[in-house]
Structure 1
């Protein structure tokens, strides 16, 4: 017996009669596991960017991960931790997707289209380009007794119906239509302009070209409160004023509505037109106030207000009849502020109206 055979015999005796038959250990990492990790990471990034569409990355990640685990368990590849990683990444993806969908559902419930609001509804505006009057993606409806930054007044329609079935008229023309229509609505629903919340401005939303193509013609008129957010409605409804109060407010409405327009910055032609309407309001005021009866406490102030109307009418008529910008400015300076006179304030107080 050779030395080699003797040594082999000793080995056989040492290990119980023969060398053990061990299965080969794989040396390669699963390529499916690597692909699954890449797809899993991509799915997490995608869910943050494109939401549900990230499913196209998550499904392959889960499939690659499952196949990689099977490979490792069968001993065909090594790297069980790497093989499980795509499955864990898929779980993370599912959690992020659920959170995102839940947030979207909450936002959809919280925000709604401004065209779905009713006249008199209050809301908070969403972020957008303040220089563009287009309808926003959504607004948050608010109770008018809670702080809010806008109140819907109504909807303007196109004056020129020839455009009803024609091409999109453009932002400029729509804004012109909205300005005219919304001013009429504003005058009709804000019957006591002096009591408007501070910082109130008349604004509007107009449809985009895509919305126009789908039949959207509504131009939403609303008050925007740029200063302190009010906690009361700006519109006056019949349940908030008495018949006597309403009669007085209608009598002075043209004066109170158009005087601030004439005194504010803007095109001289528009301001001159507003001055003419103030003068007309003062011309009609004595007959309007003569339609009593008025409460005894208010009669002296109302009589004094009617007496003052002739002089006020003449001052405003002078403004309206000016021919140059310089003469307009000079005549307007003689008119004074647009605030109610002492007689009007006394009448308001006697009628129980807010000063």
Structure 2
């Protein structure tokens, strides 16, 4: 007779005997979900009372339904009870408060620790280690707190198929960041004297990974400073912005005077004198085009008159035929240029009326 198999229909075994499944194997017992939840709650210690309650609810259900998980429930009850005890002790002694405070402080510090290349315009920071060293980590702080640097902006280096060398990028960064910083802090007199142009450059290693970013900043090598130096178009009135954009180029060009004197490099000095003459003439014209508020109009007019007189002297310097003639016109040109570049007008426009002690210098890099 051929062998045939039909559907399994019976459950062998008499009264009081547990049923068995096909082929004599015992059926699979399910694990109680409350027991699992109790253990998890006890382990993570997030809600110890919850783990205790879940474990106590799980035990009678496990017995009634013949489920697995008694050991899990018991472990959850024990761990939750211990967690509850520790919680009570922590609250009584203040340990929980101290832990939470330390945890928050740690999270806050971690969130403020950044790479220099993740800095954003307007952020103030303090580098790990000396400013002149190559920094891999900086700490972002509020600008009202003491800090070493303030980010003014940045740009991406273009035009190179391979690593051009630090010197090549440095030349680009110094020129571009001077423009970026100038736009960020139009009220230059509000920048402390020992705060200088600074920038972070890509390294040869980061360049290979696709980094092309130069981060521009103001920074102090001597000591931390407090307060933001930002005075861009978003923080100035139209009159303040117009005045500063008109007059600031004179100040900027004065810092570019060649280190070599006319006897050593006459051409470079003549080019510089011509550039400064152009800045003076542009400022003279620009101040005359705008109608200024009544309270500052007289001081602006006085500055414009001084610039007109200075223009004549700087013309002599810029057109000097030789080094001797250049030297003969040099002192008179400087004396004619208003030293304060309109302090009274600045004060009347609610700008910084006193220049910082000392002068800004050339930028540095890291």
Paired residues for 1:149-228 under 5 Å: 149-158=148-157, 161-163=158-160, 166-228=161-223
| Deviation (angstroms), 1:217 | 0.3
State the TM-score, normalized to the length of structure 1.
0.59
2:242 aligned to 242, 247, 251, which one? 247
Deviation at 1:314, TM superposition (A): 3.4
The offset of 1:336, in angstroms, is: 3.8
**Structure 1 position 339, deviation (Å):** 9.1
1 CA distance for matches of 2:110 and 2:340? 51
Alignment partners' CA distance in 2, 1:323 and 1:142: 54
| Alignment partner of 1:259 is 2:254 | yes
Q: Secondary structure, in 3 states, of the residue corresponding to 1:230?
A: coil
User: After superposition, what is the alpha-carbon deviation per residue over 1:78-103, rounded to whole angstroms, capped at 9, x for unaligned?
Assistant: xxxxxxxxxxxxxxxxxxxxxxxxx9
Question: 1:292 is matched with which residue?
Answer: 290
What are the Cα deviations for residues 162-182 of structure 1, in whole angstroms up to 9, with x where unaligned?
Answer: 31xx22111111111111211
The Cα of 1:154 is off from its aligned counterpart by 1.3
Q: Is the contact made by 1:207 and 1:218 (CA closer than 8 Å) also made in structure 2?
A: yes
1:74-223 aligned at under 5 Å gives the runs 108-128=110-130, 130=132, 134=134, 136-158=135-157, 161-163=158-160, 166-223=161-218
Matched position secondary structure for 2:309: helix
Structure 1 CA distance, aligned partners of 2:195 and 2:337?
16
Q: 1:298 to 1:334 in 2, by over 3 A?
A: same
Where do 5+ consecutive residues of structure 1 fail to align?
Answer: 1-102
Query: Cα–Cα, structure 1 residues 271 and 215, in superposed 2: closer, same or farther, change >3 Å?
Result: farther
- Relative distance call for 1:216 and 1:295 in structure 2 (3 A) is same
**For 1:330-341, what aligned pairs fall within 5 Å after superposition?**
332-336=330-334, 341=339
Distance 1:297 1:225, change over 3 A: same
| Contact 2:314–2:333 under 8 Å retained in 1 | yes
Which of structures 1 and 2 has the larger relative contact order (alpha carbons within 8 angstroms, sep 6+)? 2
**Superimposed CA distance per residue, residues 234-283 of structure 1 (whole angstroms, 9 cap, x where no aligned partner):** 12134532221111111112112222333889997877655443321211
Give the structure with the larger helix fraction. Answer: 1
Structure 1 residue 232: Cα displacement: 1.6
Q: Which runs of 5+ in 2 are unaligned?
A: 1-104, 354-366
User: Number of aligned pairs?
Assistant: 247
TM-score by length of 2: 0.58
**Could you list the per-position Cα deviations for residues 139-164 of structure 1 after superposition, in whole angstroms to 9, with x for gaps in the alignment?**
11121111111111111333xx431x
Report what 2:72 is aligned to.
none
> C-alpha separation between the residues in 2 aligned to 1:284 and 1:327?
25
